[in-house]
Amino acid sequence: MLQTQIKTDMITAMKAREALTVEVLRGLMAAFTNELVATKKLPTDILSDEGVFTVIRREVKKRKDAFEQFTKGNRPELAEKENKERVILEKYLPPTMSQDDIRVIAEAKFKELGFADLPAPELQQAGKKEAGKFMGMLMKELSGKADGADVKAVIDSLFN
């Protein structure tokens, strides 16, 4: 179980006096407990690996958002810390698909649904509404395998 591995890694980081890693993994363990409580389970239970991945992705997203805000706010030292935390968390996630891999799947689905047969003006007119539905279908299929921002970039290129 991944949650057990993370706890072991936290103890190892404590012994090695890696302050940032300990801080990040402690926060992650707390997020696991919060997730268990939110799903009406006991705090002493262990999350499934899928649940762990969901929590880690949420934490990574928080770090990315904070990184962007600190960069915009001209706080490079805080932005750098958020980026380091994100890197620590991403070590526990499975690799995500590249935009090229996403494009192959998206184009196949695009043709399957008949969008490829539409003339360009009609496709652009369908635009955002259909792109949103398409994004929803594709994200269900690629759940946990691809980053939402990458999927959105591929879909936008298909609809324009």
Please check whether residues 19 and 83 belong to one and the same domain. Answer: yes
Please check whether residues 57 and 78 belong to one and the same domain. Answer: yes
Please check whether residues 104 and 127 belong to one and the same domain. Answer: yes
**Total structural domains in the chain?**
2
**Which structural domain, as residue segments, surrounds residue 71?**
2-90
CATH code (residue 13): 1.10.1510.10
Please check whether residues 81 and 107 belong to one and the same domain. Answer: no
pTM listed for this prediction: 0.74
Please check whether residues 30 and 74 belong to one and the same domain. Answer: yes
In this prediction, residue 120 carries a pLDDT of: 63
Please check whether residues 26 and 81 belong to one and the same domain. Answer: yes
Please check whether residues 86 and 111 belong to one and the same domain. Answer: no
pLDDT digits 0-9 by tens, 104-136 = 888 888 778 776 666 666 656 666 677 777 788
Which token pair is 55? 């929590």
CB 85 within 8 A of CB 24: yes
In this prediction, residue 1 carries a pLDDT of: 86
Which residues in 48-72 are b (16+ Cβ under 10 Å) and which e? eeebbbebbbebbebbeebbeebee
Q: 10 Å Cβ neighbour count for 13?
A: 19
Please check whether residues 13 and 76 belong to one and the same domain. Answer: yes
Please check whether residues 15 and 84 belong to one and the same domain. Answer: yes
For 38, phi then psi, to 5°, come to -65, -30
What is the chain's mean pLDDT, rounded? 87
CA distance readout (Å), 78 to 41, 72, 81, 126: 35, 11, 5, 42
pLDDT digits 0-9 by tens, 78-98 = 999 999 999 999 999 888 888
> Where among 37, 66, 90 does a domain terminate?
90
Please check whether residues 65 and 25 belong to one and the same domain. Answer: yes
Amino acid at position 81, single letter: K
